[in-house]
Amino acid sequence: MAVHTHDDIDWAERLRSLRMAEALDAEPTRAAAHRLLEGLPDRPTILDVGCGAGGMSVLFAEELASAGARIVLVDATEPLLVEAHRVVTAAAGDKAVVETVHADVADGGLPEKLPPADLVWASRVVHHLPDQQAALHTLARLARPGGLVAISEGGLDFNCLPWDLGIGRPGIEGRLLAARGEWFAEMRAGIPGVVPMPYGWNTALRQAGLDDVDSFGVLIHHPAPGSELLREFVVERVRWFADVAGDRLTQDDRETAAAVLDPANPAFLGARQDLFLLGVKTVHCGRRS
Ligand SMILES: C[S@@+](CC[C@H](N)C(=O)[O-])C[C@H]1O[C@@H](n2cnc3c(N)ncnc32)[C@H](O)[C@@H]1O
Distance 80 CA to ligand 1 centre (A): 9
Confidence of residue 1 (pLDDT cuts 50, 70, 90): very low
Across the chain, mean pLDDT equals 96
Cβ–ligand 1 distance for 275 under 6 Å, the answer no
The CB of 69 under 6 Å from ligand 1? The reply is no
pLDDT digits (tens, 9 = 90+) for 199-249: 999 999 999 999 999 999 999 999 999 999 999 999 999 999 999 998 999
**Residues 68-77, mean pLDDT to the nearest whole number:** 97
pLDDT band at 124 (very low <50, low <70, confident <90, very high): very high
**pLDDT of 87 above 50:** yes
Average pLDDT score over residue span 243-269: 96
| Residue 197 CB contacts under 8 Å (≥ 6 apart), including other chains | 132, 133, 204
pLDDT at 5 over 90: no
Could you tell me if 92 and 61 are in contact, meaning their C-beta atoms sit under 8 angstroms apart? Answer: yes
Q: 5 CB less than 6 Å from ligand 1?
A: yes
- If you average pLDDT over residues 265-281, what whole number do you get? 98
Give me the mean pLDDT over the 10-30 stretch.
94
Core vs surface per residue 52-67: b (16+ CB within 10 A) or e: bbbbbbbbbbbbbeee
Point out the ligand 1 atom lying closest to the alpha carbon of residue 104: 20
Residue 3: pLDDT above 80? no
Please choose from 16, 75, 233 the residue to mutate so as to test ligand 1's pocket, defined by most ligand atoms within 8 A of CB: 75
Q: What does the alpha-carbon distance between residue 139 and residue 126 come to, in Å, rounded to a whole number?
A: 10
Name the pLDDT band for 22 (thresholds 50, 70, 90).
Answer: very high
Q: Which letter does DSSP use for residue 32 in this model?
A: H
In the chain, the domains with their CATH numbers are: 12-288 (3.40.50.150)
Measured distance CA(111)–CA(181) in Å, rounded? 33
* CA-closest residue to ligand 1 atom 20: 104
